Structure 1
């Protein structure tokens, strides 16, 4: 039986960042991740610059990946009308294929123990977790961080509320080669969803869209949906016309839920998409995942060093901090998505923003945070 002070289930952006943070604090960490690296993931692959000070503190030299510097947003309606604005903080584009592997290598170098297996069962009793993996490995630990993504079999085992509801959303992502500005992230509305377009490293263009299953199922496949739904927006039509698919085929994930989730369930501290998923149109999901890892690592450090005395207080502190940081952003994201997917309402809001363009940066700020700093 393996023993570890902290076990992180899931080795995506949030899980790996939490592992690196905890190891910086000299806390023993085991990370359980079913996949190996590198691996492509369905993701917008744009990160707000709010993470930069935190990455610097963690000694994560993301600049080594040669990410693109993104400073502008272009938004278009279904009909192709556009608004352009400067992003308040700006950000950078980097693929999950490169970034997750980069963080994984750093976590290993920092002394994190990684097990490449899936988790079959988690049981909590008498202040201890017992985790059983697919190969029968048993791990005992005091603390568990849940970083297992948008939707997992573990959610079913924990009987989480959102998992009981069928979600009407799916997402499609691929990389392309072609012509697209380095400094722009495009957000293009179409009937049934919206599509993000931006550059990542190596001059690749990431195109990732969220679509309602109701509209998607009317078409035979993603190619048909692209031509008959996305390309009704002239900007998207022009982008697809002038790019070439680099993947064998686009990646697709379904049953994406934006329903509220609890930050702590069954005494597990949830981070990243496992704790709450913001609509991709807000462009802040990756930064939020990274920030949530910081919050979890800090409260765990306080608990281990007796600055937080009880598990109940640990869970309360984490929940409060998580809600203060993210709850309003998630509500704003759901509101914006509802507006964009109602053509008449979207048109009214677009007209208002055209008359008062200063409103758009204000809306962006509502879904983003301040630069993430470390308290002395």
Structure 2
């Protein structure tokens, strides 16, 4: 029997560990934090993932997640358009959902090493040796699920890490009068903000901005008032909502550059393999789908049905087929957002040329799996 170590306990890592444990594969997961905890994330899952989640008892039905069927887009000046979502989705916080998956994985026998960070990996042609902040682990297969940007990206000398990214992600939970069935994307100069409901009557407000905005102002709140409030829809939300965090969750240097899904024989999944522009609204579904794909290939390897080389090649081919084009489309669409004229153009397309808007949504979403 092969031994698998998952580096990082986000959505993709947790789902992969669950699937491997259900198939009888020995699996351990290393996570630098302790569940439950918050992550910077839009917290919306496209319905493309629902068949898989329900078939594997991973759908969070007990938390009554809001079903989202409509989409509102506003320009930086506040001009807006609302349209039906092609597939739709549901809202669930990472605090709740990751903890739900963690408990599932524990029940299935996944071994967890929490409050530890993998500092280095070494592959000798047959097995891996991983050094964490507290111990040394050995594995036959390693899954990299350590998110958007990690110390391990530097250790592995990944190409994308050499280029600084100017984007900063900020997330709040709030209470406000936002319809359960609606996800909204509001533009402001230099960025955009997504808003949708999650469990327990709460709303996620998550935005992406350029670091230069933050440098210009004393603090995040000052930037929000001076820049984001120029969109009257955002000003209304910020001034009327109850903010539930003492301070926002923040992540720096969010990168959308191309990554490899296999790096020094480590199988990358989720944002570690490639991050779609948040405005596309299906990063969580892609992480779940990627976890399904990588676990299926590892199970084949564990059973002796494929070699390591074939496992890596099959996973790469499947990942590229399902995600490469969507990531490219997301990078192109993102160019329409964060400026006055371009965001107004995007809203006008949505208002007056609805087939174009529908095509954009289809090109960034996948088929149900």
Specify the TM-score bucket, using the shorter chain as the normaliser.
Answer: over 0.9
- Kept after mapping to 2: 8 A contact 1:72/1:84: yes
Distance 1:250 1:115 in 2: 27
Which residue of structure 2 aligns with residue 297 of structure 1?
295
Q: Secondary structure at the match of 1:340?
A: coil
Match 1:217 to one of 197, 207, 215: 215
2:93 is the counterpart of 1:99: no
Distance 1:279 1:257 in 2: 9
Which residue of structure 2 aligns with residue 311 of structure 1?
308
Distance 1:32 1:242 in 2: 40
Distance 1:197 1:349 in 2: 18
- Spell out, residue by residue over 1:179-204, the C-alpha distance to the aligned partner (whole angstroms, 9 max, x if none): 11111000001000000001110111
- Kept after mapping to 1: 8 A contact 2:76/2:344: no
Which residue of structure 2 aligns with residue 275 of structure 1?
273
- Kept after mapping to 1: 8 A contact 2:8/2:29: yes
2:365 is the counterpart of 1:371: no
Gaps of 5+ in 2: none
Compute the displacement of 1:362 (Å).
2.0
Compute the displacement of 1:222 (Å).
0.9
- Spell out, residue by residue over 1:130-155, the C-alpha distance to the aligned partner (whole angstroms, 9 max, x if none): 011111x2211110000011111110
- Kept after mapping to 2: 8 A contact 1:4/1:30: no
- Kept after mapping to 1: 8 A contact 2:13/2:269: yes
Compute the displacement of 1:4 (Å).
6.2
Compute the displacement of 1:242 (Å).
1.7
Compute the displacement of 1:265 (Å).
0.3
Residue correspondences, number: 368
Gaps of 5+ in 1: none
2:341 is the counterpart of 1:344: yes
Distance 2:91 2:303 in 1: 37
Distance 2:34 2:349 in 1: 47
Kindly report the root-mean-square deviation, in angstroms, between the aligned alpha carbons of the 2 structures. 1.3
Distance of aligned partners of 1:349 and 1:76 in 2 relative to their CA distance in 1, 3 Å threshold = closer
Which residue of structure 2 aligns with residue 207 of structure 1?
205
Q: Which runs of 4+ in 1 moved over 4 A?
A: none
2:235 is the counterpart of 1:245: no
Compute the displacement of 1:342 (Å).
4.5
2:352 is the counterpart of 1:355: yes
Q: Secondary structure at the match of 2:73?
A: strand
Distance 2:338 2:205 in 1: 19
Match 2:194 to one of 196, 217, 239: 196
- Kept after mapping to 1: 8 A contact 2:297/2:315: yes
- What is the TM-score with the length of structure 1 in the denominator? 0.95
Q: Secondary structure at the match of 1:88?
A: strand
- Kept after mapping to 2: 8 A contact 1:18/1:296: yes
- What is the TM-score with the length of structure 2 in the denominator? 0.97
- Kept after mapping to 1: 8 A contact 2:188/2:340: no
Which residue of structure 2 aligns with residue 144 of structure 1?
142
